[in-house]
Amino acid sequence: MPGLIGKKIGMTSVFSADGRNVPCTVIEVGPCVVTQVKTAATDGYEALQLGFEEQKEKHLTQPELGHFRRAGVTPKRHLAEFKGFDGSYKLGDTICADLFTEADFVDIVGVSKGKGFQGVVKRHGFGGVGQSTHGQHNRLRAPGSVGACSYPAKVFKGMRMAGQTGNKRVTVQNLQVIKVIPEHNLIMIKGSIPGSKGSIVLIEK
């Protein structure tokens, strides 16, 4: 589906027409520049590669610099492909926040906040085992038995245990666009989206 690359600015709230206070996330969307046009004849599928945010040339390799020079655009920090655009876009065209309209529904792709190594209570929502009395010491948030016994004498793959939490690619679907501010390239999305302030997200219609 068509979409753009954006940056999460933060959260705020707005009042709806019926007076309800609606929490929303502010995203700086674009301007994104078309850096490559993929066609079915040359690439096997149709898509647009978009670039977002300026990047210094010294931080890029020669193949990357050649890619941007061929497109006739300045180097970009972030690149992403989107399908579903019509065929009217050419290399160097700029796509801004006016791609979206109010009441549109979008999918947001981002990287969730990393929370480090966490136990099963926080990572998987375990309730804890045992009691707080009868000599119980510090095992209230322990996972308990993992199921290994005489047969099959192993722990099955996928057993929910403690480990790295967060810092993963997450997609949140069907979020409503509350407001579009094209003069500042901002859109307001109802609810929360994955990632911290300043993180890069993909917004797809």
The pLDDT score that the predictor gives to residue 172 is 95
**149 pLDDT above the threshold of 80:** no
DSSP lists the bridge partners of residue 110 as: 170
DSSP 128: -
47-54/94-95 β-pairing: unpaired
The structural domains of the chain, ordered by start, are 3-112+171-204 (2.40.30.10), 115-165 (no CATH)
Comparing 100 with 86, which gets the higher pLDDT? 100
Find out whether 2 and 82 touch, Cβ atoms under 8 Å. Answer: yes
Which strand (E) or helix (H) includes residue 15?
A: strand 3-15
The two tokens of residue 73 are: 């655009």
Give the residue-averaged pLDDT of 138-159.
Answer: 83
Alpha-carbon distance of 19 to 32, in angstroms, equals 35
The two tokens of residue 58 are: 């010294």
pTM recorded for the entire structure: 0.83
Which strand (E) or helix (H) includes residue 68?
A: helix 62-71
pLDDT, tens digit, for every residue of 19-29? 899 999 999 99
Whether the bond into 194 is cis, omega within 30 of 0: no
**68 pLDDT above the threshold of 70:** yes
In whole angstroms, how far apart are CA 68 and each of 35, 76, 189, 202? 7, 8, 31, 21
Q: Which amino acid is at 111?
A: V
